[in-house]
Amino acid sequence: MLPLLLILLVCLSLQTSESASSGSFIHCLLNHSQPSHPISSAIYTTNNGSYSSVLQSYIRNLRFNTTETRKPFLILTALHESHIQAAIVCAQKHNLQMKIRSGGHDYEGVSYVAEVPFFILDMFNLRSIHVDLKSETAWVQAGATLGEVYYRIFEKSKTHGFPAGVCPTVGVGGHFSGGGYGNMMRKYGLSVDNIIDAQIVDVHGRLLNRKSMGEDLFWAIRGGGGASFGVVVSYQIKLVRVPEIVTVFKVTKTLEQNATDIVYKWEQVANKLDENLFIRLILDVVNGTNKVKTGRATFIALFLGDSEQLLSVMKKSFPELGLQKSDCNETSWVQSVLFWTNFPLGTPNDVLLSRIPQVLTYFKRKSDYVKEPISKAGLELIWKKLIELEYVLLTFNPYGGRMGEIPAEAVPFPHRAGNLAKIQYAANWNVAGKNVTDYYIDLTRKLYKFMTPFVSKNPREAFFNYKDLDLGINHNGKASYKEGRVYGIKYFKANFDRLVKIKTKVDPGNFFRNEQSIPTLPN
């Protein structure tokens, strides 16, 4: 009886201290609020009727929307830059953990989950987009989604676009600050290669731009993860030119349709093709004839030109796919985004303004980089493993073109020349429960382990925006630098050391921290 009573007393004590801490924190926020921009309406505590809906509206991985998941004691839905400044000043004063959420697409829930008492600084209200065609630039706030960015650009021009992801509900804040890749990267590089200014609130609560923050910090927040260095409020992006007509296609081949030979040829040419052409490859398992499992290769493409030009390129460089005129869909650039997101062509463009994903699932992701083509024998082994595991798929995104021209140290994202493709491992499931979750995560890890001989080594590289806590977790204690180096080298290679030096300079107390943030140098 006594131990149970002790546990109850401890729990009650923790709840009381959390409540007191929350109360004094709110008092601090109110004291730091500007009369012209009151903060009270942006504060949601667990007692607020809208708290749960605000929390859940930007949880994009159902793994982190369970009763067991620790919830924030408060959500601050910033309406103005001054609210961000107040959050930073008051969180430090009260020694509180702050998580920064833009679109909630962090694969491991790092932007809205923690193991200690914490609050969320939610950015979704800060989503203005100002497109200036004269300078061919746009200012985009961190709470905007990619879909909103594309829609606002297309509103002004049918011949401008921006190189970023193909999932419209992804938030700008995390996507841009972690690299931002998409299907125009072979032509124009990553999002971060086309960012020319930014606004950030630093650890002292100062609102800085490129000039006032300095080139080191500006370098760091273009691929090194903004949440390690401050709160990025907005980015100024350089728009790119796109033709009025682009062409997209999706072609599938099963093992019975010679998929292995076609995939092998894709490996030979995908990173050497015309830079206007991007062909993604997806390997998965489907029911074949007689309901026997078989491997399927799906080729999804964007070509910045018309179908005649595309067919000419394919005939010359990749005739093995057997692309036909009937496979090609000519459309606008903004409609191509919808095609890539599995919307039918002709879907109204304003669907890009929806912030609700088409599907919400439980999922696990991992990443790798391929330096050399995998042999046909290797591909046969991969097919066999995929069929054995059944529920994990591999997505290959080709490099080359502009990606091979930009120096590895230009921004923190280091994966440039010498890469054939990036792999994403994906497992999705729709049933709750720890056993089910463990099963699918284990499948993903098994495939990742199996792929070891076919991918980069020393380090085994990974993409920072495909967050993967299997690569290491930072507990942000005395071993922070040592723990951070484990995953940091995989994500950033030689750029990790520069990121650490910048972090140590701009945030020596490591206030801006999470499970895979950039650490400070050890004392």
Residues 436-468: pLDDT tens digits? 999 999 999 999 999 999 999 999 999 999 999
pLDDT range class, residue 327, cuts 50, 70, 90 = very high
426 close to 363: Cβ distance less than 8 angstroms? yes
Rounded distance between C-alpha atoms, residue 29 and residue 41, angstroms: 12
Rounded distance between C-alpha atoms, residue 140 and residue 243, angstroms: 23
Pick the CATH number of 246-331+361-454 from 3.40.800.10, 3.40.1110.10, 3.40.462.20, 3.90.950.20: 3.40.462.20
Q: What are phi and psi of 197, to 5 degrees?
A: -165, 165
Closest to 429 in 3D by CA, of 357, 351, 364? 364
Rg of the chain, C-alpha, whole Å:
24
Q: Show which residues are catalytic.
A: 466
Residues 494-519: pLDDT tens digits? 999 999 999 999 999 999 999 999 99
- Residue for token pair 């801006």: 512
Please name every residue paired with 171 in a beta bridge, in sequence order, or none if there are none: 145
With a pLDDT cut of 70, the percent of the chain lying above it is 96
Rounded distance between C-alpha atoms, residue 478 and residue 64, angstroms: 28
Give the E-state strand segments of 328-414 in sequence order: 329-331, 362-370, 392-398
Rounded distance between C-alpha atoms, residue 46 and residue 52, angstroms: 8
pLDDT range class, residue 8, cuts 50, 70, 90 = very low
Find the mean pLDDT for residues 287-300.
92
Closest to 419 in 3D by CA, of 376, 462, 387? 462
Burial class (CB in 10 A: 0-12, 13-18, 19+), 331: middle
Find the mean pLDDT for residues 62-91.
98
Find the mean pLDDT for residues 199-204.
99
Residues 15-55: pLDDT tens digits? 545 565 789 999 999 999 999 999 999 999 999 999 999 99
pLDDT of residue 13: 44
Is the sign of the CA dihedral 364, 164, 105, 199 positive or negative? positive
Cα distance between the two ends of the chain? 46
pLDDT of residue 20: 57
507 close to 228: Cβ distance less than 8 angstroms? yes
In the chain, domain spans: 20-122, 129-241, 246-331+361-454
Rounded distance between C-alpha atoms, residue 399 and residue 379, angstroms: 19
According to the CATH classification, is domain 20-122 in 3.30.43.10? yes
- From residue 99, how far is each of 111, 226, 227, 398 by CA, in Å? 5, 12, 8, 33
**Any idea what DSSP says for residue 223?**
T
Find the mean pLDDT for residues 474-488.
97
Mean pLDDT of the chain: 96
Flag whether pLDDT at 95 surpasses 50. yes
Q: Thinking of the domain 129-241, which architecture would CATH place it in?
A: 2-Layer Sandwich (3.30)
Rounded distance between C-alpha atoms, residue 470 and residue 468, angstroms: 5
Burial class (CB in 10 A: 0-12, 13-18, 19+), 427: buried
In what side-by-side order are the strands of the sheet with 43-45? 43-45, 74-77, 118-122, 97-101
Tell me the angle at which helices 2-31 and 81-93 cross, rounded to the nearest 10 degrees.
Answer: 140
In what side-by-side order are the strands of the sheet with 246-254? 329-331, 246-254, 293-303, 277-287, 392-398, 421-429, 362-370
Flag whether pLDDT at 188 surpasses 70. yes
Give the E-state strand segments of 357-454 in sequence order: 362-370, 392-398, 421-429
pLDDT of residue 22: 84
Residues 205-240: pLDDT tens digits? 999 999 999 999 999 999 999 999 999 999 999 999
